[in-house]
Amino acid sequence: MPIRQLPPDIAVQIAAGEVIERPVSVVKELVENAIDAGASRIIVEIKGGGIEQLRVVDDGAGILSEEVLLAFQRHATSKVESADMLNAIPTLGFRGEALPSIAAVSQMAINTRPAATDAGFNAEFAWGKLISEGAHGCPPGTTIEVSDLFGNLPARRRFLKSATAESGRIHELVTRYSLAYPEVSFHLKVGDRVVLNTQGDGRRANAALAVYGAEVSESLLEIQEEDPETGYRVEGLAGDPSLHRANRTYMTFFVNRRWIQNRMLTFALEEAYHGLLPEKRYPLAALNLVVPYEDVDVNSHPAKREVRFRQDGKVYAALQRGVRAALVAYSPVRGIQGTI
Ligand code: ADP
Ligand code: MG
């Protein structure tokens, strides 16, 4: 075959394959968009593991009628204006890939209205093609509904786990975000069941109470430590040493409130608890690292799940020392040994 450039409808499907791996990827992108839009309340409703249907409702800024269709074009974003902005990205989104990617692999509807405008706008897509659009009354904010995910990609659909397993991933994601954004009220409904409801009053302890229940949250310490050398801060919740788990799933890390996976941070946290937990037991923690935007590259993973730090060592030290200091302060009498 001769070399040729792929037509846009094929290109977008390939891109979608990287960004949208499973239902939880859709929820992640939509929740991140809602947060970027300044929402104070985010409702997530899923049916059939999010494959059959999922809906994300927010009360954020909304999209102007004349910009809605543009938002579904590839690389269309309101978050990046110039190349140097990529060196210090303050928003969760920046690539303008999520909406077109989701639309390419589902049936998708959007209703949106900025609070200052009278009429909202509705658009519907099927497998990436616009099928209807027009003015549409709706409350301020944005509602996005996605149905029949991967209905046009049977191979991808077969690769998904059971509805229960996919729901579990979504539950986990929303839970983690609710801990990082205590000022946002998160509401998650799986089928007919409300499985998470946070107040959004800005108090992390209240978010933890909604997520973990009273017993666990009583054992959580509020962490708020600044590394004197670098100014890097670590904030969030970490269990006192009486609280531990059999695996590492309960360690959640955010960098500038972006949920990421990072082995180094896992090690740093385990190191902070060194000598305090029984063998083969792991801490429960949800921690956010606050580092200057220019010290972290968030553009290194298609689903933005991983980041690169300019100086790993400094990040490691800030987390390990910050948590250790909080643990020592919690338990001065028992005299936690070791360096901080
Ligand atoms: P990105 O988030 O990388 O900019 P997306 O494809 O996720 O790309 O969204 C494209 C644009 O649509 C965003 O830049 C934003 O302007 C707008 N948008 C998407 N979702 C929302 C929302 N829930 N509320 C307000 N604006 C939104
Ligand atoms: Mg986005």
Nearest residue (CA) to ligand 1, atom 12: 71
Q: For position 182, what pLDDT does the model report?
A: 97
Q: For position 299, what pLDDT does the model report?
A: 87
Report the atom number in ligand 1 closest to the C-alpha of 58.
23
Q: Which residue has the higher pLDDT, 302 or 53?
A: 53
pLDDT in tens, 189-235: 999 999 999 999 999 999 999 999 999 999 999 999 999 999 999 99
Question: Best of 31, 77, 304 to mutate for ligand 1, by most ligand atoms within 8 A of CB?
Answer: 77
Q: For position 330, what pLDDT does the model report?
A: 87
Euclidean distance between CA atoms 73 and 235, whole angstroms: 37
Percent of the chain with pLDDT strictly greater than 90: 88
Q: Residue 245: which of 217, 282, 279 has the closest Cα? A: 282
Task: Write down the H helix ranges in 54-199.
Answer: 68-71, 98-104, 154-158, 163-180
Report the atom number in ligand 1 closest to the C-alpha of 76.
10
Contact indicator for 29, 54 with CB cutoff of 8 Å = no
> From the CA of 28, which ligand is nearest?
2
Q: How far is the CA of 29 from the centre of ligand 2 (A)?
A: 5
Q: How far is the CA of 147 from the centre of ligand 1 (A)?
A: 19
pLDDT value at 338 more than 90: no
Question: Best of 12, 26, 33 to mutate for ligand 1, by most ligand atoms within 8 A of CB?
Answer: 33
ipTM of this complex > 0.95?
Answer: yes
The alpha carbon dihedral of 69, 135, 79, 232 has a sign of negative
Which residues have C-beta atoms less than 6 Å from ligand 1?
Answer: 29, 33-34, 37, 58, 60-63, 71, 76-79, 93-99, 142
Q: For position 14, what pLDDT does the model report?
A: 87
Q: How far is the CA of 165 from the centre of ligand 2 (A)?
A: 24
Nearest residue (CA) to ligand 1, atom 2: 93
pLDDT value at 265 more than 80: yes
Q: How far is the CA of 33 from the centre of ligand 1 (A)?
A: 5
pLDDT in tens, 17-54: 888 999 999 999 999 999 999 999 999 999 999 999 99
Reported in sequence order, the residue ranges of the chain that DSSP labels E, i.e. its strands, are: 41-47, 53-58, 107-113, 120-126, 129-136, 141-147, 185-190, 193-197, 220-226, 233-239, 251-255, 258-260, 285-290, 296-297, 308-309
Question: Best of 70, 99, 112 to mutate for ligand 1, by most ligand atoms within 8 A of CB?
Answer: 99
What's the angle, vertex CA 286, arms to CA 274 and CA 163, rounded to 5?
120
Residue 224 main-chain phi, psi, to 5 deg: -155, 90
Question: Best of 20, 28, 31, 36 to mutate for ligand 1, by most ligand atoms within 8 A of CB?
Answer: 36
Nearest residue (CA) to ligand 1, atom 16: 78
Q: For position 17, what pLDDT does the model report?
A: 84
Q: Summarize the chain as % helix, strand, coil (round to 5).
A: 35, 25, 40
Q: Residue 258: which of 196, 218, 309 has the closest Cα? A: 309
Q: Which domains can be identified in the chain, with CATH numbers? A: 8-197 (3.30.565.10), 219-330 (3.30.230.10)
Q: How far is the CA of 218 from the centre of ligand 2 (A)?
A: 35
pTM reported for the whole predicted model = 0.95
The DSSP 8-state label assigned to residue 54 in this structure reads: E
Percent of the chain with pLDDT strictly greater than 70: 97
Contact indicator for 176, 252 with CB cutoff of 8 Å = yes
pLDDT in tens, 73-113: 999 999 999 998 888 999 999 999 999 999 999 999 999 99
